Chain A
Amino acid sequence: MIRAINGVVIRFFFLVLLQVLVLNNIQWSGYLNPYLYVWFILMLPFETPNWLLLVFSFILGFSIDAFSNTWGMHSAACVLMGFVRPYLLKIIAPREGYDTSVQPVLRDFNLEWIIKYSLILIFIHHFALFYIEVFKFSMFFHTLLRVIISSLFTFVLVIISQFIIYRR
Chain B
Amino acid sequence: MRNLLKLLYAYHFLLLFIALEIICAIFLFRYNNYHSASFASTSKAISGTFYKQVTDFRVYLSLRETNDALAKENALLRNYLKNNYNTFDTTRIHVRDSAFSQLYHYQEAKVINNSVNKQYNYITLNKGKNHGIKPDMAVIGPNGIVGVVDGVSENFANVVSLLNLKFKVSAKLKKHNYLGSVIWEGKDYEYCTLNDIPQHVVLQKGDTVVTTGFSESFPEGEVIGTVEDFNMKDGNFYHIDIKISTVFKSLQYVSIVEDLKKSEEIQLEKLKEND
Question: CB within 8 Å of B: which residues of A?
Answer: 50-51, 54-55, 57-58, 61, 65, 70-73, 75-76, 79-80, 82-83, 86, 132, 135-136
Contacts and interface: CB of A to CB of B under 8 A. Distances in A.
Contact of A54 (B20, B26, B29): B20
Contact of B28 (A71, A82, A83, A86): A71
A129 to B, nearest CB: 11
Nearest to B13: A50
B23 interface: yes
A143 B26 CA distance: 24
Given A75-B23, A135-B34, A135-B38, A54 B28 contact: no
The 4 closest A-B pairs by CB, nearest first: A72-B28, A72-B27, A76-B24, A71-B31
A51 B28 contact: no
Contacts of A75: 20, 23-24, 27
Interface residues of B, number: 19
Interface string B86-116: 0000000000000000000000000000000
A5 B63 CA distance: 72
Given A70-B32, A71-B30, A136-B38, A76 B17 contact: no
B72 interface: no
A72 B20 contact: no
B39 to A, nearest CB: 8
A76 B28 contact: yes
B159 to A, nearest CB: 77
Contacts of B71: none
Contacts of A73: 24, 28, 32
Contacts of A132: 28
A15 B169 CA distance: 121
B21 interface: yes
B5 to A, nearest CB: 15
Contacts, number: 57
Contacts of B13: 50-51, 54, 83, 86
A137 to B, nearest CB: 12
Interface string B70-96: 000000000000000000000000000
Contacts of A50: 13
Nearest to A58: B20
B25 A76 contact: yes
Of B20, B29, B34, most A-chain CB atoms within 10 Å:
B20
Contacts of B21: 76, 79-80
Given A51-B13, A71-B32, 4 more contacts: A72-B26, A73-B24, A86-B13, A135-B35
A54 B11 CA distance: 14
B16 interface: yes
Interface in B1-57: 12-13, 16-17, 20-21, 23-32, 34-35, 38
Contacts of B20: 54-55, 57-58, 75, 79
A79 B17 contact: yes
A68 B28 CA distance: 13
Contacts of B38: 135-136
25 contacts: A50-B13, A54-B13, A54-B17, A55-B20, A57-B20, A65-B27, A71-B28, A71-B30, A72-B25, A72-B26, A72-B29, A72-B32, A72-B35, A73-B28, A75-B24, A76-B21, A76-B25, A76-B28, A79-B17, A80-B21, A82-B17, A83-B13, A132-B28, A135-B35, A135-B38
Of B21, B23, B34, most A-chain CB atoms within 10 Å:
B21
A108 B35 CA distance: 42
Contact of B24 (A51, A79, A86, A136): A79
A72 B12 contact: no
A71 B34 contact: no
Contacts of B35: 72, 135
B13 to A, nearest CB: 5
Interface in B215-267: none
A93 B34 CA distance: 41
